[in-house]
Homo-oligomer: A and B are copies of this chain.
Amino acid sequence: MPTLRLALAQVNPTVGDLAGNAELVRRWTRQAADAGAQLVAFPEMVLTGYPVEDLVFRRSFVAASRAALERLAADLAADGLGDLPVVVGYLDADGPPQVSADAEPGRGARNAAAVLHGGTVAARYFKHHLPNYGVFDEDRYFVPGDTLTVVRIGGVDVALTICEDLWQAGGPFAVARQAGVGLVVNINGSPYELNKDDIRSPLVSRRAVEAGAAIAYVNMIGGQDELVFEGDSMVVAADGTLLARAPQFVEHLLLHDLDLPAAPEHGPGSGDLADGMRVTRTRVSGTGPAPDGAPASGGIIEPVADEAEVWQALVLGLRDYVDKNRFPSVVLGLSGGIDSAVVAAIAVDALGPQRVVGVSLPSQHSSEHSREDAADLAKRTGLDYRIEPIQPMVDTFLANMSLSGVTVENLQARVRGVILMALSNQEGHLVLTTGNKSELAVGYSTLYGDSVGGYNPIKDVWKTLVWRLARWRNADAARRGETPPIPENSIGKPPSAELSPGQLDSDTLPDYAVLDPVLIGYVDGDLGRDGLVEAGHDAAVVDRVLRMVDTAEYKRRQSAPGTKISMKAFGRDRRLPITNRWREDS
C-alpha cells in the first residue's frame, strides 16, 4: 500500500492578480517540497482568485488565465519543482468564450483544475456541478464538465473534483467509485457562513464513503468583497474518518501522510461510465523520492465558539478589503455606542491602531457619557483619536433653511457623513460604516448619514450578536491578560441615536431581543407573516416589524437605481424587487 505525503495549501489569493497568485503558488509549492510532499493541492481558481464574476465574459481575462497557467507550469519546473505534481484551480474555456453576458447560452468558459507536472499541464478537469443559488451564479458563467479526470500519482489513482461537486449527490464522486480511485482531491472556494463548518466535515466523510476513496479537501482563505473564505481544509479516510483538519481564517500548509491503495498495473482505460460521464486517465511519472524521517500528521484543529469564529471572519474580511484595495487606513465615527465600538475593535484587530482613525462628532444632543465612552475606547485600543464638533455646520444649515423634526435629526447624521468623507478625501482613509443588520433591516439609519462609507464590517451582524461579540472579545482579552478593548459602559447602556433630546432606540423599535428573532425569520428564513406568528411571535409585533422592513427597502438600496436601456447598466443586482404593494401583513 503506497503512502503519499499530501500538502494542502490553504492560501489567500486575490481576484485579478494573476501574477501575484502564481507567485503564491510557487512559494507554497517550494515550502511543500521542502517538507517532502508528493502531491500539492491549491484551492479552486487560485490563479485568478474567486469569484471572478463578470470578468469571465472578458475574452482577454480568460486568455490571460490560460497563459498564466502554462507559464506557472514552466516556472515551477525552472524552480526545480517539476517532479512534484501540483493541482491548481484556474479559468479555462473551450475556444474563445462569448463576449457578452447577454449572448445566447452555450458559453465556453470552464471552472477548471489542472495538474502541473514536468513543466507542462499534465491533466485538466472541468467542474461538473455548478452552484447557482445564494452567492453563486455559476450557471451564468460556466459550462459544466462531463468527464472525470483520473491521474496516477505515485502509484495511486487520484480523481480531481471542484467544490460543488462535493455538495451534490451523484456526479463525480459516484463515478470515482466506478473508476476505482484511491483518492479524490476536492479544491474549493467555499465562502464562510456561520456554522457551515459543522455541516462540511460530516459531508466530506459521507462522500468519502460513497466514493470508497480518501478525500483531500482544500479551501482558500481570505476576504473578497463581501465574501470571506475560511479554509477548514481537511483529509478524510475512505471510511469517513477525519484524519487531519486545518485552522480557520489563516494561511496554512496541511501536511499529512496517507496510506492509499495501489492502482492495478493494468487498470481500466479511459472510456464511458455511468451517468453519461467519461473518464480520462493520465500517468504522472516520478513524484520525487518518498520522504524519510517521521511521518507527517496534520493534526486536527478543534472548532471554536461561534463568537470567536465570527470575529475572525469580520477581522479577515475587513483586512483583506482594505489591503487588497490598497487603502492605507480607515476612518470611522465614534459615538460612544456599541456598534461603532465593536467596529473600531475589529478594525484595530485587523489593521493595528496606527491605521485606524476614530472621530468623535459631538452635537448638542450628545451626552457626556457618550463623549467619555468614545474617548475611553480610543484609550483602550490606541487608535488615532480626533474630535470634530458638528454643531457649527448644523446651525448654518438651520439658519439658511426651514427644517424641523426628523429632518433635523437626519441633518446631524449627514453633516457627520460629510466630515468623514472630507477626512477620507483629504487623508486617503477608507470610511467604515457601523450600522448593524437589525438597523439596516428596519431602516433605522440616515441615508447618506451614518450609512456613509465604503465598507461596513457588521452589515450582516444582528444587533444581539453585536453585543455577544463585544462581550466575547472583552472576555477573551481578559483571559489573555490584555485590556478589554470595548468600554463596559458602551455594552451596558440602552442604545440611542442621540439625534434629539433623550432619544432611545426603544422609542421607535421593539426591544432587540424581541426584534431580532422576527427579523431572522423574515429576512434569513423567508418566513411569511403567518409562519412567524405560528413560530410563536406576537402578531402585532410581527406586523409592525414586517412593515418596517418592507418600507426600508428603498433606503437599503442607497445608490440610485435608474432606468436600464442597454445590456449593462451599472449596479442592477439586487434580487428582491422594491414593492410596497406586497405586504405580508395585509
Binding site for B on A (CB under 8 A): 14-18, 20, 49, 51-55, 57-61, 99-105, 132-135, 137, 139-140, 168, 191-194, 223-228, 310, 313-314, 317-318, 321, 324-326, 388-389, 392-393, 395-397, 399-404, 406-407, 410-411, 414-415, 417-419, 421-422, 425-426, 433, 437, 440-441, 447-448, 451-461, 523-531, 554, 556-584
Could you give 25 example pairs across A and B, Cβ below 8 Å? A16-B579, A16-B580, A49-B581, A54-B526, A54-B576, A58-B528, A134-B567, A137-B575, A192-B564, A194-B565, A225-B578, A226-B561, A228-B563, A228-B564, A314-B565, A318-B563, A325-B554, A392-B399, A407-B425, A407-B426, A414-B418, A437-B570, A460-B566, A557-B571, A558-B559
Given contacts A455-B561, A564-B227, contact A388 B400 (CB under 8 A): yes
B134 touches A102 (CB 8 A): yes
A584 touches B404 (CB 8 A): no
Interchain nearest-CB distance for A570 vs B (Å): 5
B225 touches A577 (CB 8 A): yes
List the 4 closest A-B pairs by CB distance, nearest first.
Answer: A60-B528, A16-B582, A573-B573, A459-B562
The 8 Å CB contact of A448, one of B59, B397, B411, B417, is B417
Query: What is the bound-complex CA distance between A392 and B535, given in angstroms?
Result: 55
Given contacts A137-B137, A388-B401, 9 further A-B contacts (CB under 8 A): A49-B579, A99-B525, A100-B526, A105-B168, A317-B562, A421-B448, A451-B559, A456-B562, A459-B561
Given contacts A134-B567, A396-B392, A567-B134, contact A560 B454 (CB under 8 A): yes
Interchain nearest-CB distance for A433 vs B (Å): 4
Query: What is the bound-complex CA distance between A575 and B570, given in angstroms?
Result: 10
Interchain nearest-CB distance for A170 vs B (Å): 12
B17 touches A579 (CB 8 A): yes
- Name the residue on B nearest A576 (C-beta): B54
- Name the residue on B nearest A53 (C-beta): B575
B421 touches A418 (CB 8 A): no
A102 touches B133 (CB 8 A): yes
Query: What is the bound-complex CA distance between A403 and B396, given in angstroms?
Result: 18
B579 touches A15 (CB 8 A): yes
- Name the residue on B nearest A316 (C-beta): B563
- Name the residue on B nearest A435 (C-beta): B560
Given contacts A193-B565, A227-B564, A455-B562, contact A570 B554 (CB under 8 A): no
A581 touches B324 (CB 8 A): yes
Interchain nearest-CB distance for A431 vs B (Å): 8
The 8 Å CB contact of A564, one of B226, B395, B401, B583, is B226
Query: What is the bound-complex CA distance between A1 and B542, given in angstroms?
Result: 59
* Interface SS, A side: loop
Query: What is the bound-complex CA distance between A324 and B531, given in angstroms?
Result: 27
Contacts of A135 in B (CB 8 A): 564, 572
B580 touches A325 (CB 8 A): yes
Contacts of A584 in B (CB 8 A): 58, 60
Contacts of A425 in B (CB 8 A): 403, 406-407, 410
Query: What is the bound-complex CA distance between A426 and B415, given in angstroms?
Result: 17
Contacts of A395 in B (CB 8 A): 396
Query: What is the bound-complex CA distance between A560 and B440, given in angstroms?
Result: 11
Query: What is the bound-complex CA distance between A324 and B49, given in angstroms?
Result: 41
B401 touches A17 (CB 8 A): no
Given contacts A325-B580, A451-B559, A559-B559, contact A313 B133 (CB under 8 A): no
Contacts of A191 in B (CB 8 A): 564
A565 touches B16 (CB 8 A): no
Contacts of A132 in B (CB 8 A): 105, 132, 139-140
A562 touches B133 (CB 8 A): no
- Name the residue on B nearest A346 (C-beta): B563
Most-contacted residue by chain B among A14, A453, A566 (CB, 10 A) = A566
B223 touches A563 (CB 8 A): yes
A133 touches B524 (CB 8 A): no
Most-contacted residue by chain B among A52, A558, A582 (CB, 10 A) = A582
Given contacts A61-B582, A103-B133, A563-B314, contact A397 B421 (CB under 8 A): no
Contacts of A411 in B (CB 8 A): 418, 422
A226 touches B433 (CB 8 A): no
B578 touches A531 (CB 8 A): no
Most-contacted residue by chain B among A134, A574, A576, A580 (CB, 10 A) = A576
Query: What is the bound-complex CA distance between A554 and B321, given in angstroms?
Result: 11
Contacts of A564 in B (CB 8 A): 135, 191-193, 226-228, 317, 460
Given contacts A60-B528, A554-B325, contact A577 B397 (CB under 8 A): no
Contacts of A455 in B (CB 8 A): 560-562
Contacts of A224 in B (CB 8 A): 577
The 8 Å CB contact of A563, one of B18, B99, B313, is B313
